[in-house]
Amino acid sequence: MLLRISPSMRSITISSSYGVLDSMKVKVCARPLSYRTIFYTILALTFLFPFAFILTAVVTLEGVDECSSLDCLGRRLGPKFLGRGTGDSARLIRDLYEILNQVDSKEFPAELMLPGSFSEFLSEVKNNQHDMKTFAIFLKATMEQMDMEVKRSKLAEQLNKHFAAGAIPKGIHCLSLRLSDEYSSNAHARKQLPPPEMLPLLSDNSFQHFVLSTDNVLAASVVVNSAVRSSSRPEKTVFHLITDKKTYPAMHSWFALYPPSPAIVEVKGVHMFDWLTRENIPVLEAIETHHAVRNHYLGNHVKGTNVSDDPRIFASKLQAKSPKYISLLNHLRIYLPELFPNLNKVIFLDDDIVIQHDLSPLWNINMAGKVNGAVETCRGEDKWVMSKHFRTYFNFSHPVISENFNPDECAWAYGMNIFDLSAWRKTKIRDIYHYWLKENLKSNLTLWKFGTLPPALIAFRGHIFPINPSWHMLGLGYQEKTDLDRVKKAAVIHYNGQCKPWLEIGFKHLQPFWTKHVNYSNDFIRNCHILDPEEYKQDRA
């Protein structure tokens, strides 16, 4: 038998020339107690029974710091368990070995209560003076249970990796890398956007201004392409694209090389806005460092996921835990009046939408002093997508919520909103937003689940101007039974939900509305083998 423990004790390798052929690798992040238990159990049992059922086990643990040396393990398990005690205990182990070899797993009584942890196992053994055979059965059953548990987490781990990789498709990642590369090697990719003579147009209120914040170049290109194609006045259109520092070179390259003329595009990274400082957005850092947020987004993704889940549900759960939901790009829209101090009106777009009709009429709507032109989501033909009230988003068992809000109040949607920034500047919307973010952090995130909509629902109360639902159709990312006729007629379709059109889990019959705005003859897109749903379908068929 071979036993190797890494210096930090984060990983242990056990190889044995006996026993059932098996091999496993388990990697665990962030304090999972049950795995530490498995670790100790495997270790102890390997010492006890050199013929352990596990031929090779590699258990990797991170964040284990309480017990960091063999010595400490020895103390924990007691000298007898390590077989270093008297000759008696050495003989005991030999006898156990013999008996255990005779025990067949079929002998496990169904009512046998197995311990959940190694310490339970120890106290069970201490408290009940089992005879040797009972003890052996008990031990073997426990071991097999632990073995099963390790196998299950191994499986979950593999699934997890598979779907996590699918969440950022290779093609989109490749596109971003190649465009970044282009930025450093090709002067055309670096040319100023828009050209200097057009800079004044960026704050010209006779133009239609669209704001889009995303780190997905392909999605941004679809939004911009579809908007330009459907616009009756593309030459009077300005797109303000905001991305993160990492994606900036790629995003800039794309729109510098393929400007959607005659529309005007500006690309900015969050690092280029002087206004976005810690003093102005104090809560964001707090959100990212809050322990509950960290646990939810950065913790062990295997925990809470179910190996027997449908792959689409499994992937959705993983996606919902993506750290991108706490990023600044997501909260950015609450700072529009400050980010665009000279503009009076903007339309803010999500990156998972497609524009199918001219949106110019939205600019002429009289919003009667309201700030946010949005589609209300509490009534509509689709009973599932359009049945959202405050009670959908908030925890009304919490007194802070129930004392301040009405569960029946209608909700509205982000995705395509027309914002009257002049009216907004006269309100305290941002302060209210910050106040409630802090309240939720103070109450350990029990006021609402994650996301940027709930605090916005509160902050924009009384400032909503309901627009006709045909302007913005929701649910294409979580609803397979979407009405295709309505999809064709809607001005903007929104793939909200986890099944984004650029993911493998996207609904195949809804993807063409999105992919028809992807230019598959473009070299970057071709060379990155970005999924063409038609070819993909044929491959699979």
Ligand X SMILES: *[C@@H]1O[C@H](CO)[C@@H](O)[C@H](O)[C@H]1NC(C)=O
Sort strands 208-213 and 345-349 into parallel, antiparallel or unpaired: parallel
Tokens at 401, concatenated: 């919520």
Cα gap 260→257, rounded to integer Å: 10
Q: Which is nearer to ligand X, 8 or 402 (CB)?
A: 402
Cα gap 258→298, rounded to integer Å: 36
Q: Which is nearer to ligand X, 229 or 324 (CB)?
A: 229
CB neighbours (10 Å) of residue 444? 10
Task: Return the residue of 303, 324, 398, 508 that touches ligand X, per CB under 6 A.
Answer: 398
Cα gap 190→181, rounded to integer Å: 11
Strand partners, 464: 372
Q: Are 413 and 377 in contact (CB under 8 A)?
A: yes
Task: Return the residue of 145, 322, 395, 452 that touches ligand X, per CB under 6 A.
Answer: 395
Q: Which is nearer to ligand X, 11 or 37 (CB)?
A: 37
Using CB under 6 A, which residues numbered 139 to 198 contact ligand X? Answer: none
Residue 417, Cα to own-chain centre: how many angstroms?
24
Is residue 33 a contact residue for ligand X (CB under 6 A)?
A: no
In angstroms, what is the minimal distance from the CB of 33 to ligand X?
A: 15
Total residue count of the chain as it appears in this document: 541
Is residue 403 a contact residue for ligand X (CB under 6 A)?
A: no
> What are the E-state strand segments in 254-332?
264-269
In angstroms, what is the minimal distance from the CB of 531 to ligand X?
A: 17
Instruction: Please identify, among the stretches 2-10, 28-36, 73-81, 438-446, the one whose residues bind ligand X according to the rule CB under 6 A.
Output: 438-446
Residue in this structure with the two tokens 């957005």, named with its chain if needed:
281
Instruction: Please identify, among the stretches 342-350, 352-360, 394-402, 452-460, the one whose residues bind ligand X according to the rule CB under 6 A.
Output: 394-402
In angstroms, what is the minimal distance from the CB of 235 to ligand X?
A: 17
Q: Which is nearer to ligand X, 364 or 521 (CB)?
A: 521
In angstroms, what is the minimal distance from the CB of 396 to ligand X?
A: 8
- Please name which of 20, 19, 8, 16 lies closest in space to residue 60, comparing C-alpha atoms: 8
Residue in this structure with the two tokens 């704050």, named with its chain if needed:
203
Binding mask 305-344 toward ligand X (x if CB under 6 A, else -) reads -x-x------------------------------------
Q: Are 69 and 24 in contact (CB under 8 A)?
A: no
Amino acid identity at 245:
K
Strand partners, 23: 56
Count interface residues toward ligand X (CB under 6 A).
11
In angstroms, what is the minimal distance from the CB of 121 to ligand X?
A: 22
Sort strands 56-61 and 464-466 into parallel, antiparallel or unpaired: unpaired
Cα gap 2→12, rounded to integer Å: 10
In angstroms, what is the minimal distance from the CB of 441 to ligand X?
A: 10
Q: Which is nearer to ligand X, 15 or 446 (CB)?
A: 446
Is residue 261 a contact residue for ligand X (CB under 6 A)?
A: no
Q: Which is nearer to ligand X, 76 or 438 (CB)?
A: 438
Using CB under 6 A, which residues numbered 439 to 458 contact ligand X? Answer: 443-444, 446
In angstroms, what is the minimal distance from the CB of 279 to ligand X?
A: 26
Using CB under 6 A, which residues numbered 477 to 536 contact ligand X? Answer: 519, 521-522
Tokens at 309, concatenated: 């889940």
In angstroms, what is the minimal distance from the CB of 447 to ligand X?
A: 8
Cα gap 427→460, rounded to integer Å: 10
Sequence-ordered list of residues with C-beta below 8 angstroms from that of 502, at least 6 positions apart, any chain: 169, 172, 216, 218, 219, 514, 531
Task: Return the residue of 17, 364, 397, 538 that touches ligand X, per CB under 6 A.
Answer: 397
Tokens at 411, concatenated: 């909700």
Is residue 427 a contact residue for ligand X (CB under 6 A)?
A: no
In angstroms, what is the minimal distance from the CB of 17 to ligand X?
A: 36
CB-count exposure of residue 258 (10 Å: 0-12, 13-18, 19+) = middle
In angstroms, what is the minimal distance from the CB of 383 to ligand X?
A: 24
- Sequential DSSP letters for 325-364: GGSHHHHGGGGHHHHSTT-SEEEEE-TTEEE-S--HHHHH
Using CB under 6 A, which residues numbered 277 to 306 contact ligand X? Answer: 306
Q: Which is nearer to ligand X, 64 or 302 (CB)?
A: 302
Q: Which is nearer to ligand X, 214 or 440 (CB)?
A: 440
Q: Are 254 and 179 in contact (CB under 8 A)?
A: yes
In angstroms, what is the minimal distance from the CB of 520 to ligand X?
A: 8
Angle made by CA atoms 140, 145, 147, in degrees to the nearest 5: 95
Instruction: Please identify, among the stretches 94-102, 169-177, 392-400, 480-488, the one whose residues bind ligand X according to the rule CB under 6 A.
Output: 392-400
In angstroms, what is the minimal distance from the CB of 316 to ligand X?
A: 14
Q: Which is nearer to ligand X, 297 or 335 (CB)?
A: 297
Instruction: Please identify, among the stretches 101-109, 145-153, 324-332, 391-399, the one whose residues bind ligand X according to the rule CB under 6 A.
Output: 391-399
Q: Which is nearer to ligand X, 290 or 494 (CB)?
A: 290
What is the contact surface with ligand X in residues (CB under 6 A)? 306, 308, 395, 397-398, 443-444, 446, 519, 521-522
